[in-house]
Amino acid sequence: MPKIAALSALEILDSRGNPTLQVTVRTDEDTNKCLIASASVPSGASTGKFEALELRDKDPSRYQGKGVRKAIENVLGPLAKAVIGQEVSHQKEIDHLLIEADGTKDKSKLGANAILGVSLAVARAAALAVNLPLYRYLGGAAADLLPCPMINIINGGVHADNSLDAQEFLIRPTGAPSFAEAIRWGSEIFYTLKKLLKENGYVTSVGDEGGFSPNLSSTESALDIIVQAIEQAGYQPGNQVSLAMDMAATEFFDANLKKYIEKKKKAAGLPYIERTGQEQTDYLESLCAKYPIDSIEDGLAENDWEGWRIFTERMGKKIQIIGDDIFVTNMEFLKKGIEQGVGNSILIKLNQIGTLTETLECVRMAHSHGFTTVISHRSGETEDSFIADLAVATKAGQIKTGSMCRSERICKYNRLLAIEAELGGAARFTDSNPFRKR
């Protein structure tokens, strides 16, 4: 098995035009050839407080302080020193060495972005070494399940400069017979929605994750027009295509007042609503009663554990309740959630924790406790499609990777289309959300 001979790293740009890292692993000469594999690191905007640290230079003279030269130095220096000479297939040991080289709990010394870049590039090199596609290398012969896409067709919150406080309005083509058909349905609904928005006088520009970002007056008006788009495209809302939301409620929770505040309306001087935790739960429940919603992510804030517990008690047998900011792909928080009856599903983001091994362990813990997992992109993405392979390898059954435009989103869908084609008759497509509408 080839060994790591060198690491290199490049400051590249993500989909928002902010700097991030691309890390490359080169192996020693094994059977006369050296292998070269790269991975790029994504970056979030509505980040959880307890995510592993994304190291930025904070040098105001470059990229408004967002440069990642220090992270690159850390790849070339301490991280390279820690892993050079290791066999690329020893992912767990390598990740452990990376964690050890950093030595902090939140990877703040060397940067989770630097560490993750190395971790993912190593996995790619190892897959190359044994001549296997990444999903097969990571997931073995059993990796045959294509994920149901959660397609984010209207963007709000911090991902769009519009009036919507809820961050993501997603469609789930659960009734599609294959991944390729799910993508076709999604695309048709996306373009029907575009037409409807236009007809109703709204702009059809898109937000950070490729969903439209119209100035709709409320969450309900966004859900109404999506239901209309599903119907006009020729599909049945609920039965064939259900709805999901990521409220990203941490962004509009006032921890001092303990209230959920319609921030954007407030800032615009418009009438706005403030909700207590109880009222926010009632509100989410009323949305689920009115619309065919079968999944809600971050309906409550990351520091409102009691609100989460009550919401899960009330709705946890009816819909998928996904924890993103509250769990941050961290087994410690997930364990607390499992013990306290908080959520029934976890969003999985590689860069929230910072190594592939910890990510895989978190998925395993979730599955073994009956939690579903949704593999996720970040709002700042690159053309790297690692998460597509990860979704198949872990049999997560669901992926969240944006809308039906913008290549940093589409490349993940395209990779999944290729995997489905490659698997041929062995490919399975089943939505893992047990509460899906039928």
Phi and psi torsions of 245, nearest 5°: -135, 145
Selecting among 264, 349, 395, 437, the annotated active-site residue is: 349
152 within 8 A of 402, measured Cβ to Cβ: yes
Q: State the nearest-atom distance from the C-beta of 157 to ligand PGA, in Å.
A: 8
Per DSSP, what are the bridge partners of residue 26? 6, 36
Among 27, 357, 379, 382, binds ligand PGA (CB under 6 A): 379
37 within 8 A of 24, measured Cβ to Cβ: yes
Partner from Zn ion, ligand PGA, none binding residue 398, C-beta < 5-8 Å depending on class: none
Partner from Zn ion, ligand PGA, none binding residue 419, C-beta < 5-8 Å depending on class: none
Q: Tell me if 246 contacts ligand PGA by CB under 6 A.
A: yes
d(CA 15, CA 383): 8
Selecting among 54, 87, 168, 209, the annotated active-site residue is: 209
* Residue keyed to tokens 């084609």: 421
Footprint on residues 301-330 left by Zn ion (CB under 5 A): 324
d(CA 342, CA 274): 23
Among 246, 302, 408, 431, binds Zn ion (CB under 5 A): 246
Can you say whether the dihedral through the CA atoms of 316, 320, 325, 328 is positive or negative?
positive
Annotation says 209 is catalytic: yes
Short-list 269, 267, 304, CA closest to 284: 304
Structure token pair of residue 162: 């519009």
Partner from Zn ion, ligand PGA, none binding residue 378, C-beta < 5-8 Å depending on class: ligand PGA
Footprint on residues 314-353 left by ligand PGA (CB under 6 A): 324, 347
Q: State the nearest-atom distance from the C-beta of 248 to Zn ion, in Å.
A: 5
Annotation says 259 is catalytic: no
Q: Tell me if 408 contacts ligand PGA by CB under 6 A.
A: no
Phi and psi torsions of 51, nearest 5°: -65, 155
Phi and psi torsions of 313, nearest 5°: -60, -40
Q: State the nearest-atom distance from the C-beta of 43 to ligand PGA, in Å.
A: 7
Binding mask 24-63 for ligand PGA (x = CB under 6 A): --------------------xxxx----------------
Residues designated as active site: 209, 349
* Residues in contact with Zn ion by the rule CB under 5 A: 246, 324
